[in-house]
Structure 1
Amino acid sequence: MRTYARISSTGSALPEKILTNSDLEKMVDTDDQWIQDRTGIKQRHVAVDGETTSTLAVQAAKQALQRANMTADELDLIVVGTTTPDLVFPSTACLVQKALGCPGITAFDVNAACSGSIYALGVADKFIQTGQHKKALVIGAETLTRMVDWTDRATCVLFGDGASAIILEPSQEPGILSTHLHADGSHDDLLNATVGVSSGLKNEPNGGLKIRMKGNEVFKTAVLTLGKIVTQTLKANHMKKSDVDWLIPHQANLRIIAATAKKLNMDMDQVIVTVDKHGNTSAASVGLALDEAISSGKIKRGEVLLLEAFGGGFTWGSALIKY
């Protein structure tokens, strides 16, 4: 009999500081209506001194553990999706492990940019299916505002900080039905950060670390790619579009979300949207949207969820889940 990885609980964490579009009007040549028309974003949360990717991840993890009536010492796997780790090493997962007090268990990071939480979910799912691990903590966490160029109005309006957590346990009842992970490095020039440890830093503020994006090209590729992965995911599970109860997409841009929903023939009432409140939180975004929908009671046990994300690399992925 097949063993499924099933969601036991979720959690989330957001910095208290909120940066609105009106605030951004004072910082860069932009305006609230311009941002909303092109992205759907109204505000984003921004990490302050003392807040890091790992501290946000720990907050989200503790909330998920509490909701699952679990203690950290019951965990045997931590997978963190992030592209903004606290340190080069140790991994953010190891920092989370230390803070939670569960030494000795498997803990590692996955860097797939905005697809990070889907990649992390896919990895943890496989570990549980094989029986190697029993209780997994899957985290998506980012502090992207630490690498934003606040003089670039094309990108600085997009990103926010936050963390999400999902606890998975084995079950004979259907849970994660399938995950699908893809990448194409030939598009690396369209969305990237061009400095690093091996390639070197620059003699510029923040070492030259900043996000560069060719917005129109990314938009077109994202819409096309996400449409294809929706088809692939449903076909793999012998399901129809009408079998999906909820679409939980990466929260990058409301226009991309709406285009994906249209390909599914889904009404926007069946789509979880948090981009207006959070902006693009990269690897945290799908989990944040999932947690909000579960916590609010929108999503109920037994419903079918389609999670999908697209990010720098390019990477993209999906997860079909019976909650």
Structure 2
Amino acid sequence: MDMSAPTDRPGRPSIGITALGSYVPARVVTNADFEAYMETNAEWIESRTGIRERRFSAPDEYTSDVGVGAVRDMLDRDPDALKGVDAVICATVSPDALMPSTAALIAMQVGLTGAAAFDLSTACSGFVYALSVASGLIQSGAAQRVLVVGAEALSKIVDQQDRGTAILFGDGAGAAVVGPVPAGLGFQEFIMGADGAGGSSLYLRNVAPHLPGGFEMGDSVGMNGREVFKFAVRVLGDSGQKVLQKSGLTSADVDWVIPHQANVRIIEAAVERFGIPMSKTVINLDRYGNTSSATVPLALREAVDDGRVQDGQQLLLIAFGGGLSWVAGTMKWWAGAPSLKAKAVSTLAGVEA
């Protein structure tokens, strides 16, 4: 599915990100922590994934809590960031509840009661999916500004005894306001897709005990790592190439790739497919692991804070997730709002040094 958000459509404003915030829980879980109860070692984990540590939420800290943390970080940077927001989308696969939506719970706590609110569930591709949906809502006139939150408390739904998944995932959140930006900047094109036939490679049971066709699901995140790896390398490379072509761009035009932070080997193989060097790729999974829908905004927030992403630069966002799903988007970065300015940061996303 191709979904366009032209930056120069006559009579309509250009649409992009007008505010950013991020949050990660305080608890750091290192690779060495798994050695105490699992047949693994820190070097093995890092060599195969690129991950050194991740964050786990507190026992009483859930997805709405980390999402609110990201929004509050945004408001600390820009108290007017939510002005005019009339819709909230939360991309998550670890919602507090099936109903009410986590988006509604976040909206209630950040002063947006009455705004339209709903959750979007495409796992790790969710945040970029939600940016496209938000852009479409604004272009159609259904919303003026949209708060998009990618938030996860994956430590609550991952079997911590399963070496195939426990070592990969962490908790965190990123938040962005989508709204009008100056002409020539903002979102350019989006490409989205999904293939339910791959659902048995990455899944989480909710109601049904099995998928269509009879595949039995367990009660925690299940993953066929080998199949997901092959899928991810292919769709990240292909969707990246397609969205660049649709945008009238080439790999040489890209200043920064902001990829889903699943596995450094996946990222290396994917960007190689469309000829963009790793030196132009934002990586922070070494410190946060795979936070699913939160990875792209966490990486973007960090790259903006440390000055890598600057006004007018060309960005390529790529992600894959459960479904199996994929998404890619292009955008010209606008750095004109208070929360989009570079600032010195510590290793905690969204926290000043």
TM range (shorter): over 0.9
Contact 2:257 2:282 survives alignment (8 Å): yes
The TM-score, its normalising length taken from structure 1, stands at: 0.94
* Aligned match of 1:270: 280
Out of 287, 307, 311, the position equivalent to 2:297 is 287
* Aligned match of 2:148: 138
Q: What are the superposed Cα offsets for residues 234-281 of structure 1, whole Å, 9 maximum, x if unpaired?
A: 111111110110000000000011112212322212110011000000
Alpha-carbon distance in structure 2 between the residues aligned to 1:130 and 1:141: 26
Deviation for aligned residue 1:198: 4.5
- Bigger drift between 249-258 and 164-173 goes to 164-173
Out of 167, 172, 177, the position equivalent to 2:188 is 177
Alignment partner of 1:118 is 2:128? yes
Alignment partner of 1:188 is 2:219? no
* Aligned match of 1:129: 139
Alpha-carbon distance in structure 2 between the residues aligned to 1:134 and 1:59: 23
* Aligned match of 2:260: 250
* Aligned match of 1:204: none
- Bigger drift between 61-70 and 44-53 goes to 61-70
Q: What are the superposed Cα offsets for residues 6-54 of structure 1, whole Å, 9 maximum, x if unpaired?
A: 2112110000001000111112111111101110000000011221100
CA RMSD of aligned residues (A): 1.6
The letter of the residue matching 1:175 is G
Contact 1:179 1:320 survives alignment (8 Å): yes
The letter of the residue matching 1:151 is Q
Contact 1:129 1:170 survives alignment (8 Å): no
Alpha-carbon distance in structure 1 between the residues aligned to 2:200 and 2:208: 18
Q: Secondary structure of 2:165's match?
A: coil
Out of 19, 30, 44, the position equivalent to 1:20 is 30
Alpha-carbon distance in structure 2 between the residues aligned to 1:18 and 1:294: 23
Unaligned runs of 5+ in 1: 201-206
Alpha-carbon distance in structure 1 between the residues aligned to 2:254 and 2:83: 35
Note closer, same or farther for the CA distance 1:25–1:64 as it changes in structure 2 (3 Å cut).
same
Contact 2:64 2:105 survives alignment (8 Å): yes
Alignment partner of 1:90 is 2:100? yes
The TM-score, its normalising length taken from structure 2, stands at: 0.86
Query: Equivalences for 1:298-309 in 2 at 5 Å?
Result: 298-309=308-319
Q: Secondary structure of 1:239's match?
A: coil
Alpha-carbon distance in structure 2 between the residues aligned to 1:72 and 1:6: 14
Alpha-carbon distance in structure 1 between the residues aligned to 2:91 and 2:283: 21
Note closer, same or farther for the CA distance 1:251–1:224 as it changes in structure 2 (3 Å cut).
same
Out of 22, 27, 37, the position equivalent to 2:47 is 37
Deviation for aligned residue 1:129: 1.9
Alpha-carbon distance in structure 2 between the residues aligned to 1:192 and 1:276: 24
Q: What are the superposed Cα offsets for residues 272-292 of structure 1, whole Å, 9 maximum, x if unpaired?
A: 001100000001111110111
Alpha-carbon distance in structure 2 between the residues aligned to 1:226 and 1:119: 14
* Aligned match of 2:331: 321
Alpha-carbon distance in structure 2 between the residues aligned to 1:186 and 1:198: 16
Alpha-carbon distance in structure 1 between the residues aligned to 2:274 and 2:62: 37
Report the identity percentage: 40
Deviation for aligned residue 1:151: 1.6
Contact 1:92 1:108 survives alignment (8 Å): yes
Report how many aligned residue pairs link the two structures.
316
Deviation for aligned residue 1:186: 0.4
Deviation for aligned residue 1:3: 2.4
Deviation for aligned residue 1:104: 1.3
* Aligned match of 1:219: 229
Contact 1:24 1:157 survives alignment (8 Å): yes
Alignment partner of 1:105 is 2:115? yes
Contact 1:73 1:102 survives alignment (8 Å): no
- Bigger drift between 83-92 and 257-266 goes to 257-266
Query: Equivalences for 1:191-210 in 2 at 5 Å?
Result: 191-193=202-204, 195-199=205-209, 209-210=219-220
Q: Secondary structure of 1:129's match?
A: helix
Contact 2:203 2:322 survives alignment (8 Å): yes
* Aligned match of 1:203: none
Deviation for aligned residue 1:178: 1.2
